[in-house]
Amino acid sequence: MQKKLLLSLCLAASVLLSSCGAEETSRNGPLSRRYYHYFDTVSTVYCYGSASDEEFGKNVDEISTILEKYHIFFDIYHEYSGVTNLCTINKNAGGEPLAVDPELFDFLRLCIGLYDETDGKMNVMMGSVLSLWHDCRQEASGHPENASIPSDERLAEAAKHTDITLLELDESNLTVRISDPLASIDVGAVGKGYAAERAADYLRTAEGGENYVLDIGGNLRIMGAKPDGSPYRAAVKDPMNPDGAAAAVLSLEDVSCVTSGVYERYFTVDGRSYHHIIDPDTLYPSERFLSVTVVARDSGSADALSTALFCMSLEEGMALAGERGDFQALWITPDGRLHMTDGLVMAQ
Ligand code: ADP
Ligand code: MG
């Protein structure tokens, strides 16, 4: 009997495990390989198909190389020798244009497009504001007694350096420049999904590349259907009890499924919780939803949209889904109610 797959959409974040780098392969269930080194989270590749051990080994090595490449490109905290990454670009803000790898250039071009598509709700040039919240979260995790939130003055000052046009791309020379020395880029809202899609691109033409499921830090990329032709089942966590029963179980085939939730990364000040998705209009964590799940073919779009929808009203998000027609979404509001687009398919 075919075992039912219930994939968790959790961000299996574990900074503690990040140095382990363990690998797992077994034939009791699907073949799988887990990575701890990329995007400050845990990622797992599953193969439900009939790839040989050798094919699977080659494919997961290749996927590891792809994830590592984008991990390095997107790292805003470290530079790497021989690579111009986002950390280099941020440090160079206000300076001369920097030549970048065409793959990083393509990604940055896409980020500008996603800003336009989401009416600025997903803005990768919000680095100055996001870093204030990030620093408070870090401080709160090390020293909860010192936990505080950024002052409104500092947030307002930082927000003056978030215009998307500060990111200058020169198409003919493939150079990048941030024109304002106080501005910076942060692609946390879209990077993992984009990298997952690049891994999916690879699998599409790889030997033994059928029937894979990629869980890149909770961003699911489901390649095709199960080997028996039936769809996969994916659980959407209950944001109020993430370790308990699922809030919904979705039926998914050849799509990505990405959730942004208040329970993923947050800190507490005076009994109040502050999560990691920042509304560009208020400069505070968006209080509209407990989680937003997006199902779309392209994993980068799904990732960007999950963050963007979090920062718009339900009506605006529903309207965007209707206009575009290329994604479905599930919103969980603070009262615990579920709202969804008509095309979302629940598992039986
Ligand atoms: P996850 O961390 O689970 O992947 P998201 O995809 O929603 O969650 O991305 C959240 C991250 O995106 C934050 O940690 C921050 O780096 C960045 N971010 C938060 N709010 C915004 C926003 N409005 N626009 C762009 N990036 C954002
Ligand atoms: Mg996102």
Check pocket membership of 123 for ligand 1, CB cut-off 6 A.
yes
Check pocket membership of 11 for ligand 1, CB cut-off 6 A.
yes
Q: What is the pLDDT of residue 348?
A: 78
Give residue-wise pLDDT tens across range 140-157.
999 998 899 999 999 999
Residue tagged 């990454």 (tokens): 85
Q: How confident is the model at residue 28 (pLDDT cuts 50, 70, 90)?
A: low
Tell whether the model's pLDDT for residue 7 goes beyond 90.
no
Provide mean pLDDT across the span 221-250. Answer: 95
Query: Backbone phi, then psi, for 219, in 5-degree steps?
Result: -80, 115
Q: For residue 265, which atom of ligand 1 is closest to its CA?
A: 2
Q: For residue 218, which atom of ligand 1 is closest to its CA?
A: 3
pTM exceeds cut of 0.75: yes
Query: Please, what sign has the CA dihedral across residues 218, 86, 15, 270?
Result: negative
Ligand 1 centroid from CA 183, angstroms: 17
Check pocket membership of 184 for ligand 1, CB cut-off 6 A.
no
Ligand 1 centroid from CA 118, angstroms: 14
**How big is the CA angle at 25 (ends 21 and 29), to the nearest 5 degrees?**
130
Give residue-wise pLDDT tens across range 263-311.
989 999 999 999 999 999 999 999 999 999 999 999 999 999 999 999 9
Check pocket membership of 200 for ligand 1, CB cut-off 6 A.
no
Tell whether the model's pLDDT for residue 189 goes beyond 50.
yes
Check pocket membership of 278 for ligand 1, CB cut-off 6 A.
yes
Residue nearest to atom 4 of ligand 1 (CA): 189
Tell whether the model's pLDDT for residue 12 goes beyond 60.
no
Check pocket membership of 293 for ligand 1, CB cut-off 6 A.
no
Ligand 2 centroid from CA 10, angstroms: 13
Query: Smallest Cα–Cα separation from 293: which of 324, 325, 254, 339?
Result: 339
Q: Residue 127 in contact with residue 135, Cβ under 8 Å?
A: no
Check pocket membership of 275 for ligand 1, CB cut-off 6 A.
no
Burial class (CB in 10 A: 0-12, 13-18, 19+), 244: exposed
